[in-house]
Structure 1
Amino acid sequence: MPSSIPPLHRQRGLSLVELMIGVTIGLAMLAALGSLYVATSKARAEFNKTGEQVENGRYALESMVRDVEMAGFYGRPGLPATLQYNLPGACNTTQASMGFDNTTSPLTVPVALSGVAAGGAKPACFSSMSTGTEALTVHYASGNVSAAVSGTEYYLQQSSCTTDTKQLVYDKSSANFTLLGKTCSSGSPAELRKYVVRSYYLAACDNCASGGDSMPTLKVAEFVNGSIQVSSLVAGIQDVHLSYGVDTDGNGSPDCYVDNPAIDNSATCTGSSGYAWTNATTNWANVTAVRVTVLARNLDATTGWNDTRTYDLGRAAPDGPYNDAYKRHVYSAVARLWNVGGVREN
């Protein structure tokens, strides 16, 4: 009998046209995903570069600001308001040249800080210092009073006893630290603090051996164990500008900001006509604030970037343009010398 059921058609699969369409769509999706991955990777790399630069710039700024705020601290309050000041060199290491003299009246101590202005003479111990750049040196006693005399480090001891014949001792020998505390008892000697001398300057290299690596770096030269030791603090610091606030009327507040207190600034500080700029040591002793400005750059170049911008660090002329592939940013802060200005305000 004839069947009324229609014949079944066999499954023949994809046609060549369908296969080509599917492959084309797949390739387009892979290309889009690849482009997205590359763009994301580049953005992530730039984000990491910028994050590192921000961290380096802020760390360099905070390191200098923290030391400026400590400058001039030689122990607990109690030193006379009228002190004589000495201006020791940043590379001085002998005890007699560090600026302390407890045989004078009034007591002689080093200035809280000093610096090298742009174009100034480079200190001999500032190895690989970039030509024409600035430097800052601070002097103070550590806040740690638990230090033990090592025989190689230098320490400060400030008397709190009215019967002591000396107010301050600067030495490295334990036999010379005989000042007493408030009870004037031999069983309670005065606090002992390690003496800190730290200088910040710029070098054109981080690792400066064999010609250097061309990485601008903020270096620190520190007085340790009787000698100056230099180390890299922050890489990628392109420039630093320091502007010093000088207290010309003795009230503790800066009356005029100058780039170099060691010279005659009467033409710049017109509001301080009664102040004499003739003594560099006195001028440095009257610095009560420092405006610190740092120019930080990325450690790695950015493909397709050309830095045509200029950067205002507070000088008469701006920095740049550098016309290279590194991105940069300026960081700035004002640091008060509380141990100098604060005493005058009181």
Structure 2
Amino acid sequence: MHRAYANHRQQGLSLVELMVAMAIGLWAVWASATVYLHTASLQRAQERRSAAEEAGAFAMGMLGRDILNAGFYPASFASSAVDGSQVGGYDSYPPLESAVRKDSDWQNMAQGWPPLAYRAGIYGCDGGEFNVQTATCPAVDASQPDSLVVNYFSADAMGDGGSRKDCTGSAVDNDPSNKYRSNAGKKLNQPPLQPLFVSNRYALRDLKNFVDQQDVVTKSLACSGNGMSAFGSPGIYQPMVSGFKDMRFRYGVYSGEADSLPERFYSAAEVDAMPVVGIHGQAYTGWQRVSVVKVCILIQSQGGAVRLEDPAGQAMRYLDCDDRPQAQPAGQWVQRLVQLFGVRNALPYSY
């Protein structure tokens, strides 16, 4: 009796089948890696854009808050025993010098104080950094950012804290023009005898950051205040936040008695050249008639590989602060931020 056995052959993959399987596997790995890297690039680009936008928003907020204070002088500040010249009066910015000058008077016109840059709440320089030591602007360089000076007086009647700190957080009591107005060395934890002069100066300065294991040169919004810091003498520009390419200011100036609406926006040089205008019996320079400040900031991403490839045949562009289209830099992303801030203390004073 013969038994029939089924002939079962053990079959494996042929060389062709193995190569096809490997190719499919390699393609799947390549596709997954491509998707991952593209997603990572998108996330990195978004993070760096968000960081630049946050820096721009912070800078705008800082500038806007200070511009709102420009030209402030507390009208209800109580007169002091040292200087009773303002009893029953209403002072403005800059505070008036007494007919017979007293030590606590802020102005000293016989000695040329204050210089032009501090005689109004707002002052600016075109294409250059305001020189704190000389209180002047440099020669205009159109390739350089503008700078801004914001001046006001403190309001400290409510106690020790008040508003007598500059943009660097330093107290302004020791500024020479505040020598006879402050309480420094006289009464501990008490308000000053008279409102104190505060001056903040804003500019962009080159700054080197370390991003992605490499040095990246960018610009930082820097501020110089008239307070005395623990790290050095007043007037030194200190970096506040980085990630900028340019900063420009334009000034809205009014000219009549009817209202304080600006006719148009002017450069700092144009405001400097404006004649003195009589309004409600008082003489006002161009800077004293600035009622709106237009701030333009160009923010720029830090680090490479931030911007994706341009659409085919279409280069990506941005508008600069002069409304001119510019090509986006390779691997970078630039965006313009523009905002208007009213100078709320720019109204003609009357009492």
TM-score tier by shorter-chain length is 0.5 to 0.7
- Rounded to whole Å, the distance in 2 between the matches of 1:139 and 1:332 is 22
1:110 shift after superposition: 4.5
Partner of residue 238 from structure 2, selected from 231, 235, 260: 231
Name the counterpart of 1:154: 172
Q: Report matched runs for 1:2-17 at 5 Å.
A: 2-3=2-3, 6-7=5-6, 9-17=8-16
Q: Report matched runs for 1:179-190 at 5 Å.
A: none
Deviation digits for residues 36-64 of structure 1 (CA, Å, limit 9, x no counterpart):
11111211121122111111222222211
Deviation digits for residues 111-146 of structure 1 (CA, Å, limit 9, x no counterpart):
2121112368744489xx995431111123456744
1:206 shift after superposition: 4.7
Tell me if the contact between 2:319 and 2:336 (Cα under 8 Å) persists in the aligned partners. yes
Pairing 1:204–2:217 present: no
Q: Residue type of the partner of 1:284?
A: W
1:101 shift after superposition: 3.5
Q: 1:55 to 1:148 in 2, by over 3 A?
A: closer
Q: Residue type of the partner of 1:309?
A: R
- Rounded to whole Å, the distance in 1 between the matches of 2:5 and 2:251 is 102
Deviation digits for residues 176-218 of structure 1 (CA, Å, limit 9, x no counterpart):
89xxxxxxxxxx98898765321101223357xxxx9632222
Taking only aligned residues, the RMSD between alpha carbons, in angstroms, comes to: 4.5
- Rounded to whole Å, the distance in 2 between the matches of 1:245 and 1:170 is 33
- The 3-state SS of whatever aligns with 2:302 is coil
Partner of residue 170 from structure 1, selected from 181, 194, 197: 181
Deviation digits for residues 16-44 of structure 1 (CA, Å, limit 9, x no counterpart):
33332222211110011111111112111
Which stretch of structure 1 is more off in the superposition, 257-266 or 29-38? 257-266
Tell me if the contact between 2:182 and 2:192 (Cα under 8 Å) persists in the aligned partners. no
- The 3-state SS of whatever aligns with 1:69 is helix
- Rounded to whole Å, the distance in 2 between the matches of 1:103 and 1:280 is 16
Tell me if the contact between 2:251 and 2:267 (Cα under 8 Å) persists in the aligned partners. yes
TM-score (norm 2): 0.66
Tell me if the contact between 2:224 and 2:235 (Cα under 8 Å) persists in the aligned partners. yes
Tell me if the contact between 1:240 and 1:295 (Cα under 8 Å) persists in the aligned partners. yes
Pairing 1:73–2:52 present: no
- Rounded to whole Å, the distance in 2 between the matches of 1:18 and 1:242 is 70
Name the counterpart of 1:328: 334
Q: Residue type of the partner of 2:150?
A: V
Q: Report matched runs for 1:1-346 at 5 Å.
A: 1-3=1-3, 6-7=5-6, 9-75=8-74, 77=76, 83=92, 85=94, 100-101=106-107, 110-118=119-127, 122-124=131-133, 131=141, 132-142=144-154, 145-147=158-160, 153-155=171-173, 170-173=181-184, 175=186, 195-206=197-208, 214-225=217-228, 227-250=234-257, 251-260=259-268, 262-265=271-274, 275=277, 282-302=285-305, 309=317, 311-313=319-321, 315=322, 318=324, 320-321=326-327, 324-341=330-347
- Rounded to whole Å, the distance in 2 between the matches of 1:295 and 1:99 is 41
- The 3-state SS of whatever aligns with 1:285 is helix
TM-score (norm 1): 0.66
1:232 shift after superposition: 0.7
Name the counterpart of 1:182: none
- Rounded to whole Å, the distance in 2 between the matches of 1:195 and 1:136 is 17
**Percent of aligned pairs with the same residue?**
20
**Unmatched tracts of structure 1, length 5 or more:** 87-95, 157-168, 178-187, 267-273
Matched residue pairs, number? 292
Tell me if the contact between 2:71 and 2:94 (Cα under 8 Å) persists in the aligned partners. no
Q: 1:133 to 1:292 in 2, by over 3 A?
A: same
Tell me if the contact between 2:73 and 2:91 (Cα under 8 Å) persists in the aligned partners. no
- The 3-state SS of whatever aligns with 2:260 is coil
Q: 1:340 to 1:327 in 2, by over 3 A?
A: same
Tell me if the contact between 1:71 and 1:139 (Cα under 8 Å) persists in the aligned partners. yes
**Unmatched tracts of structure 2, length 5 or more:** 78-85, 96-102, 165-169, 175-179, 210-214
Q: Residue type of the partner of 2:181?
A: Y
Q: 1:206 to 1:23 in 2, by over 3 A?
A: closer
Q: Residue type of the partner of 1:258?
A: Y
Deviation digits for residues 287-320 of structure 1 (CA, Å, limit 9, x no counterpart):
111011111111123377698735241x4x7374
